[in-house]
Structure 1
């Protein structure tokens, strides 16, 4: 007997066991019996493992244990205990809170993929609940902490930005909204920096169309970043190189109107003057339309 419910018996009866002509037991029958025994044993082991996964401790006790682990800085152990609570008592009042706290514990432990997975599970199962903005904050923070420099892949930056925007739009009154504002600015500044870096690369190699596309993204999508002044100046330079003077004049005009003291405006103004031109805005230009879509307070450079 292997356990209370799992029993494997095998009786051998020499008088009834099939034999070959030489008197030895049939190999086929022996193999079948061994296979059956293995299957029964595997079923018993599975049953034992499944039973072991359920903790019979009360949910409040398990919650207290996990909370104590968090206080002691044992974040991975706390995450495991919170997840065990969720598995063992999925319908208890503590289970839902344990799910998001498991994500937070993983985040504190530096286990970002696990934190993201746990928090995403919470947002799917419990959207709109009190802890939903907390879950989005955990996801965003995990991606935020994994952000790379402007010359590296920005996948994590974009995912972090998405989460912080969700907090701002869906939960504007949550305690995480103010921090989301700050992090949105950082994410957008990082993304704009990458666009500028690639744009400068194209401009240096006289790939003006490629450069314009990059600077256009900064002007259209990241107007509140510190990179927009240079982007407008680089657009002036790129359009002048292509001979598209009306767009060059518009870029310089928008730059001068919003950032009159900027060194980038002085450079753009001088570039236009060298060709007998002056800044002049064309209201039909994409630059004017993009800028008017999101007014920006000028700064000096």
Structure 2
């Protein structure tokens, strides 16, 4: 087919550019394939330290796929947990942490995998919404809080000398208080509807699981009131003794005073 001179020149120029681009891409891909695990790891680490998390993730994933048994691959899997977390990819961070824990249970830094796993779940707790709209989120099922609590508890109990143990403990205290408040909310709900056995059991479970939380006091009050309603005086008296031992300064002396102490919040 005959093409005018100017058009023919443009087509030739475009072909030259396309070939040049293809050549550059092929050259770059060939160079990447020649890179060793150490070279790839250093590149990924540089991107990670530069806060270019998406670039780091891409190289780490390439390294672990091409050299799954290299020493750098194991470290890359650990670094990927952090990179995913900082990139806002919570699900990927959790999956990476769980995989690392499962495959490297005796690794000297497995505590870090547990810690980040806890952080991801902890940050899913909608604290910002609570702050902005003053919503009482203790009344919502705290599934993510329970997962975070379990992960942080693993760090504290299994790796007490970990550099992440102290922070994990502080987060556990916060989560314990939130979880206890939710359990008391449920116990209060049962009591309000006359399900006194369920209310007492839920309150008792709160005390057993979250001892030390501020909500434990109200849990004891719900137990006393529930036992009174069920005419289980020995249990009511026993619970009053526990209440008095822990809150002796202002212990209620009668059923009416106990009811006033916590019923007023409804």
TM-score range, shorter chain: 0.7 to 0.9
Query: Comparing 68-77 with 228-237, which one deviates more in the overlay?
Result: 68-77
Gapped regions of structure 2 (runs ≥ 5) = 1-28, 127-136, 259-266
Whole-Å separation in 1 of the counterparts to 2:51 and 2:119: 19
Instruction: Name 1:125's counterpart in structure 2.
Output: 103
Change beyond 3 A, Cα 1:171–1:202: same
Aligned residue pairs total 219
Match of 2:26 in 1: none
In the other structure, the counterpart of 2:60 is 82
| 8 Å contact from structure 2 (residues 141, 182) kept in 1 | no
Name the one with the larger helix percent. Answer: 2
Give me the whole-angstrom Cα distance separating, in 1, the residues matched to 2:109 and 2:157.
16
Q: Aligned pair 1:271/2:255, yes or no? A: yes
Aligned 8 A contact 1:161 1:184 in 2: yes
Aligned-residue offset at 1:216: 0.9
Contact 1:55 1:88 in 2 (8 A): no
Match of 2:141 in 1: 153
Q: Does 1:188 align with 2:188?
A: no
**Higher Cα radius of gyration:** 1
Cα offset, 1:273, TM superposition? 8.5
Q: Aligned partners of 1:207 and 1:242: how far apart in 2?
A: 10
Q: Give the alignment of 1:39-58 within 5 angstroms.
A: 55-58=33-36
Deviations along 1:76-132, whole A, 9 cap, x unmatched? 322222121111222322211110110111111121110010111111111111120
Q: What is the CA–CA distance in structure 1 between the aligned matches of 2:249 and 2:55, rounded to whole Å? A: 56
Matched, 1:236 2:220: no
* Contact in 1 for aligned 2:187/2:199 (Cα 8 Å): yes
Match in the other structure for 1:220: 208
Residue 261 of structure 1 corresponds to 249
Deviation at 1:73, TM superposition (A): 2.2
3-state SS of paired residue (2:34): coil
Give the distance between the partners of 2:257 and 2:235, measured in 1 at CA.
15
Do the aligned residues in 1 keep the contact of 2:44 with 2:55 (CA within 8 Å)? Answer: yes
> Residue 19 of structure 2 aligns with which residue?
none
Q: Secondary structure at the match of 1:261?
A: helix
Q: In 2, Cα distance between the equivalents of 1:56 and 1:194?
A: 56
**Residue-by-residue CA offset, 1:155-197 (whole Å, 9 max, x unaligned):** 2122112211221222111111111211222222221111111
1:206 aligns with 2:190: no
**1:236-267 Cα shifts (integer Å, max 9, x gaps):** 111111111111111111011112124xx23x
Matched-pair contact (CA < 8 Å) for 1:249–1:272:
no
Q: TM-score, normalised by structure 2?
A: 0.76
Residue number in structure 2 paired with 1:110: 88
SS across alignment from 1:150: helix
Does the 8 A contact of 1:237 with 1:248 survive in 2?
yes
Deviation sequence 1:23-68 (CA, Å, 0-9, x none): xxxxxxxxxxxxxxxxxxxxxxxxxxxx99x843222222222222
**4+ residue stretches of structure 1 with deviation over 6 A?**
none
**Structure-1-length-normalised TM-score:** 0.68
Alignment of 1:54-69 (within 5 A): 55-69=33-47
How far apart are the structure 2 equivalents of 1:118 and 1:79?
12
Q: Does 1:138 align with 2:116?
A: yes
Indicate the RMSD between aligned Cα atoms, in angstroms: 2.1
